[in-house]
Each structure stands twice: as C-alpha cells, then as structure tokens.
C-alpha cells in the first residue's frame, strides 16, 4: 500500500488541479465573453440546431485576440474575438466559423472534457511511476524521459479527440446542408491564421493532427458515406 501512496496522491492532486482549472476558466469566460449577435452566423447556428433537433446552438465571443474556438468544461461554446475579427475582415467565411462551432459541439457531445480529466489524472500517475522507476535506472535523465513519454501519451490522446470531433462536425455540417467544404478549407487556412502549424515539431508531440491528415480523414468519411448510399 505504501508503494501505491505516491501514485494515489498524484491522481488526487491531478483531480484537484483539474477542478481548480475548470473553475478558473469558467470565471474568466464569464467575465470576458458576450453572446454572439451576428445575424448571419446565428442563421447558420439555427441550421445546425435544427439538424441536432434542439432549440438553439448558443455561442459566445471570448474577448481575446488569438484565433481559437473552445468548448468550456461546462459545455458552452466560444469563439475568440480574434477569430470573429477574421470573419469580419473576410479572411474566414461564416460557414468556416460554423465548422469551428460544429467541431466544439463534437467535443461536448462526445464527453471529451470528462475524458480529459480522467486522462490527465492517469497521465499524472503514469508520469510519477515512470519517474520513480527511470530515476533509479537512469539517474539524472530518468525524470526527463518520464515527462517526455507522458507528454507523448497526452498528445496522442488529444489527437484522437480531435479526429473524433472532426468526424462529428463533418456529419453535423452535412446534415445541416452546410457541407464539409468549409471545414476542409478552414483547416488549410489555420496555419496562416494562427501562425502555429507545428512546423519542425515531431507528429508524436503535436496535440492536434497535421492539416493534411485531418482533411484526408474527412474525405475518407465522405467516401464511406457515399459508398453506403443506395445505387440506382
């Protein structure tokens, strides 16, 4: 039991820190966001709400400059002011922003926030166990190796979540009559919009899949859907 104590403490610490982070995020979002009021975008949200069979898809504008979309731990969807400004300037279309919202809805519907809490706790325990073992086997660099391995695991799990949210968004956009074209075209723009393409970073350390891989995965989905349609 004594050998397990550090691991149990690591799991408990991770859970407490995750809950604290979620509380701090909620407070920040409450203080710095307003509900989306753009008529054209709200029309696109209405089409997705109808496809989902719900009354409304509510989206908020988070008043920060970086280009991003996010699903809060409490299930709310946010677009940053920086992203909305790209739409206002014509660099991003309304349909492309709708694809961001559809992606974040996927994270909510698929329970990724809850999964990340569990994953984070598990990763913290794995990091602690590996650091203990490798620290004895490879003194001096064992802890560094443990952190690297835990980071690789976290990145792989994050990429899996992104692929799942992409697939959800593709299905929702198709059902809403928006299609996957805006979703794919936005992926091709994102590196330029954010300035963060992951260039030079190994794929196994990236938290998001490469653009080409994401587009290819959506096109593979479309091919499967087309093959499943009845042929005359």
Q: Say if residue 13's pLDDT is above 60.
A: no
pLDDT for residue 152: 65
How confident is the model at residue 7, as a pLDDT? 53
pLDDT the model gives residue 205: 43
CA gap 139, 5 in Å, rounded: 22
What is the bridge-based pairing of β-strands 77-80 and 59-62? parallel
pLDDT score, position 80: 94
Q: Please calculate the CA angle 43-64-103 and round it to the nearest 5 degrees.
A: 45
pTM: 0.75
- Structure confidence at residue 109 (pLDDT): 93
Phi first, then psi, for residue 61 (nearest 5°) are -100, 120
Residues 6+ apart with CB under 8 A from 133: 142
**What letter does residue 179 receive in the DSSP assignment?**
-
């Amino acid at each position: 039991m004594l050998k397990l104590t550090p691991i149990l403490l690591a799991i408990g610490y991770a859970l407490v820190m995750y809950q604290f982070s979620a509380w701090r995020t909620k407070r920040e979002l409450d203080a710095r966001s307003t509900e989306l009021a753009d008529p054209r975008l709200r029309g696109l949200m209405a089409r997705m709400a109808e496809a989902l069979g719900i009354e409304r898809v509510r989206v908020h504008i988070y008043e920060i400059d970086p280009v991003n979309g996010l699903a809060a731990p409490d299930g709310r969807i946010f677009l940053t002011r920086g992203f909305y400004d790209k739409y206002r300037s014509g660099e991003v279309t309304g349909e492309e922003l709708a694809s961001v919202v559809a992606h974040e809805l996927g994270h909510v519907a698929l329970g990724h926030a809850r999964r990340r809490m569990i994953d984070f706790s598990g990763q913290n325990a794995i990091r602690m166990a590996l650091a203990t073992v490798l620290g004895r086997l490879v003194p001096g660099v064992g802890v560094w190796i443990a952190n690297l391995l835990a980071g690789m695991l976290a990145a792989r799990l994050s990429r899996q979540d992104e692929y799942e949210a992409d697939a959800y968004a593709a299905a929702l956009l198709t059902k809403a009559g928006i299609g996957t074209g805006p979703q794919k075209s936005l992926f091709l723009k994102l590196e330029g919009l954010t300035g963060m393409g992951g260039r030079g970073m190994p794929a196994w350390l990236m938290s998001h899949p490469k653009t080409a891989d994401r587009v290819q995965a959506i096109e593979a989905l479309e091919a499967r859907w087309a093959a499943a349609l009845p042929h005359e």
